[in-house]
Amino acid sequence: MLKKFSAALAAVAMVALGAAGQTLINAGGATFPYPMYSKWFNDYKAKTGVAVNYQSKGSGFGVAQITAGTVDFGASDMPLTDMQLKDFSAKRGMEVLHFPTVLGADVPTYNVPGVTATLNFTPDALAGIYLGKITKWNDPELTKANPSVKLPAKDITVVHRAEGSGTTFIWVDYLSKISKEWEMKVGRGASVNWPAGLGGQGNEGVAGTIKNTENSIGYVELIYAIQNKMPYGNVKNANGEFVQASLASVTAAAAGAAKTMPEDFRVSITNAPGKGVYPISSFTWLLIPEKISDPAKKKAITDFLGWMLKDGQTMTAPLSYAPLPKEVIAKETKAIAKIK
Amino acid sequence: MATSATTPQMARPQGRASFLSRAFSADSLARVVAFSAATCILVITALLVYELWSHSAISRAQFGLKFLHTSTWDPVHDDFGALPFIYGTVMTAFLGLLIAVPFGVGAAIFLAELAPPKLSDAMTFLIELLAAVPSVIFGLIGILVLVPLLSKVVPPIRDAFQGHPPVFFSGSFIGVSILSAGVVLSVMVAPYIISVSREVLLAVPRDLREAALALGATRWETTWQVVVPFARRGIMGSVFLALARALGETMAVTMVVGNTPRISASILAPGDSMASVIASQFSEAIGNLYPSALIELGLVLFGITIILNGAARLLIIATGGNAAK
Amino acid sequence: MNLSFHRKAVNAVMLCLTGVCTAVAVGLLFFILGYLFVQGGFSLNLDFFTKLPAPVGEMGGGMANALIGSAKVLLLATCIGVPIGFLAGIYLAEYAGGAYASIIRFVTDLLNGVPSIIIGIFVYTMVIANGGGFSTYAGGLALSIMMIPIALRSTEEFLRSVPGSLREGAMALGATKSRTIASVVVPAAIRGLISGMMLNLARVAGETAPLLFTAYGNQFWSPGWKQPTATLPAMVYAYAVSPYPDWHRQAWAAGFVLLTMVLLINVTARTIVSSGFSHKQK
Nearest CA among A156, A280, A143 for reference residue A218: A156
Cross-chain residue pair A55–C216, CB shorter than 8 Å: yes
For B264, name the nearest residue in chain A, comparing CA atoms only: A198
pLDDT (tens digit per residue) in B152-191 = 999 999 989 887 888 889 888 888 899 999 999 999 999 9
pLDDT (tens digit per residue) in C177-205 = 888 888 899 999 998 899 999 999 999 99
What pLDDT does B1 receive?
A: 43
Lowest-confidence pick of A16-25, A78-87, B2-11, B96-105: B2-11
- Encode burial over C173-206: b for 16+ CB neighbours within 10 A, e otherwise: eebbbbbbbeebbbebbebbbebbbbbbbbbbbb
Chain A nearest-CA distance from B40, in A, is: 28
Lowest-confidence pick of A186-195, A197-206, C116-125: A197-206
Neighbours of chain A (3+ CB pairs under 8 A): B, C
Cross-chain residue pair B259–A193, CB shorter than 8 Å: no
For chain A, say whether B306 makes contact (Cβ under 8 Å): no
- The pairing of beta strand A234-236 with beta strand A120-121: parallel
Lowest-confidence pick of A143-147, A255-259, C225-229: A255-259
Specify whether the CB–CB gap between C10 and B222 falls below 8 A.
Answer: no
| Alpha carbons B98 and B108: distance in angstroms, whole number | 16
For chain A, say whether C91 makes contact (Cβ under 8 Å): no
Kindly list the residues from chain B whose CB atom is less than 8 angstroms away from the CB atom of residue C237: 136, 139-140, 251, 255
- The pairing of beta strand A73-76 with beta strand A24-29: parallel
Specify whether the CB–CB gap between B238 and B189 falls below 8 A.
Answer: no
What pLDDT does A51 receive?
A: 92
What DSSP string runs through B186-214?
Answer: HHHHHHHHHHHHHHHHHTS-HHHHHHHHH
The ipTM assigned to this model is 0.90
Please report the residues numbered 161 through 200 in chain A whose beta carbons come closer than 8 angstroms to any beta carbon of chain C. none
DSSP letter at C55 equals P
For B130, name the nearest residue in chain C, comparing CA atoms only: C29
Cross-chain residue pair B77–A187, CB shorter than 8 Å: yes
Neighbours of chain B (3+ CB pairs under 8 A): A, C
Cross-chain residue pair B8–C176, CB shorter than 8 Å: yes
Kindly list the residues from chain C whose CB atom is less than 8 angstroms away from the CB atom of residue B50: none
3-class SS of residue B282: helix
Q: Is the pLDDT of residue A20 over 50?
A: no
What DSSP string runs through C122-189?
Answer: HHIIIIIIIII-S-HHHHHHHHHHHHHHHHHHHHHHHHHTS-HHHHHHHHHTT--HHHHIIIIIHHHH
Q: Who wins on pLDDT, B283 or A181?
A: A181
Mean pLDDT (whole number) for A284-306: 93
Cross-chain residue pair C220–A39, CB shorter than 8 Å: no
Please report the residues numbered 124 through 183 in chain B whose beta carbons come closer than 8 angstroms to any beta carbon of chain C. 125-130, 132-137, 139-141, 143-145
Q: Is the pLDDT of residue C255 over 50?
A: yes
Instruction: Pick A21's closest partner by Cβ from C56, C219, C223.
Output: C223
For chain C, say whether A44 makes contact (Cβ under 8 Å): no
Q: Is A276 left (phi over 0), alpha (psi -120 to 50) or beta?
A: left
Q: Is the pLDDT of residue A272 over 80?
A: yes
Instruction: Pick C25's closest partner by Cβ from B107, B125, B135.
Output: B107
| Alpha carbons B137 and B135: distance in angstroms, whole number | 5
Cross-chain residue pair B174–A200, CB shorter than 8 Å: yes
Give me chain A's average pLDDT, please: 88
Specify whether the CB–CB gap between A57 and A71 falls below 8 A.
Answer: no
Percentage of residues of chain C with pLDDT beyond 90: 63
In chain C the first and final C-alpha atoms are separated, in Å, by 45
Mean pLDDT (whole number) for C133-151: 95
Chain A nearest-CA distance from C202, in A, is: 22
What pLDDT does B27 receive?
A: 81
Kindly list the residues from chain C whose CB atom is less than 8 angstroms away from the CB atom of residue A53: 217-220, 227-228
For C57, name the nearest residue in chain A, comparing CA atoms only: A35
Cross-chain residue pair A193–B72, CB shorter than 8 Å: yes
For chain C, say whether B40 makes contact (Cβ under 8 Å): yes
Residues in CB range of A140: below 8 A, 6 or more apart: none
Cα-atom radius of gyration of chain C, to the nearest Å? 23
Chain C nearest-CA distance from B134, in A, is: 5
Mean pLDDT (whole number) for C212-231: 92
Please report the residues numbered 284 through 323 in chain A whose beta carbons come closer than 8 angstroms to any beta carbon of chain C. 319
What pLDDT does B14 receive?
A: 58
Residue A221's beta-bridge partner residues? A106
For C10, name the nearest residue in chain B, comparing CA atoms only: B220
What pLDDT does C132 receive?
A: 79
**pTM listed for this prediction:** 0.88
3-state secondary structure chain A: CHHHHHHHHHHHHHHHHCCCCCCEEEEEECCCCHHHHHHHHHHHHHHHCCEEEEEECCHHHHHHHHHHCCCCEEEECCCCCHHHHHHHHHHHCCCEEEEEEEEEEEEEEEECCCCCCCCEECHHHHHHHHHCCCCECCCHHHHCCCCCCCCCCCECEEEEECCCCHHHHHHHHHHHHHCHHHHHHCCCCCCCCCCCCEEECHHHHHHHHHHHCCCEEEEEEHHHHHHCCCCECEEECCCCCEECCCHHHHHHHHHHHHHCCCCCCCCCCCCCCCCCCCCCEEEEEEEEECCCCCHHHHHHHHHHHHHHHHHHHHCCHHHCCECCCHHHHHHHHHHHHHCC
Kindly list the residues from chain A whose CB atom is less than 8 angstroms away from the CB atom of residue C133: 26, 69-71
Cα-atom radius of gyration of chain B, to the nearest Å? 26
The count of CB pairs under 8 A between chains B and C is 270
Mean pLDDT (whole number) for A309-328: 89
Chain B nearest-CA distance from A47, in A, is: 32
Chain B nearest-CA distance from C172, in A, is: 10
Nearest CA among A249, A279, A284 for reference residue A266: A284
Specify whether the CB–CB gap between B274 and B299 falls below 8 A.
Answer: no
For chain C, say whether A217 makes contact (Cβ under 8 Å): no
Nearest CA among A334, A321, A244 for reference residue A36: A321
What pLDDT does A19 receive?
A: 47
Instruction: Pick A202's closest partner by Cβ from C218, C227, C243.
Output: C243
Mean pLDDT (whole number) for A49-77: 92
Lowest-confidence pick of A75-84, A195-204, B143-152, C26-35: A195-204
What pLDDT does B234 receive?
A: 86
Which of B150, B172, B174 should one mutate to test binding to chain A, selecting the residue with the greatest count of A CBs within 10 A?
Answer: B174
Cross-chain residue pair C176–B26, CB shorter than 8 Å: yes
What pLDDT does C123 receive?
A: 95
Kindly list the residues from chain A whose CB atom is less than 8 angstroms away from the CB atom of residue B75: 164, 189-192
For chain A, say whether C131 makes contact (Cβ under 8 Å): yes
What pLDDT does B260 receive?
A: 87
Q: Identify the segments of chain B with pLDDT beneath 50.
A: 1-7, 322-325
For chain C, say whether A6 makes contact (Cβ under 8 Å): no
Cross-chain residue pair C55–A42, CB shorter than 8 Å: yes
For chain C, say whether B225 makes contact (Cβ under 8 Å): no
What pLDDT does B323 receive?
A: 43
| Alpha carbons C21 and B186: distance in angstroms, whole number | 13
For chain B, say whether C79 makes contact (Cβ under 8 Å): no
For chain C, say whether B24 makes contact (Cβ under 8 Å): no
| Alpha carbons C42 and C36: distance in angstroms, whole number | 10
| pLDDT-derived band at A203, boundaries 50, 70, 90 | confident
Nearest CA among A81, A109, A107, A104 for reference residue A34: A104
For chain A, say whether B81 makes contact (Cβ under 8 Å): no
Mean pLDDT (whole number) for C90-109: 89
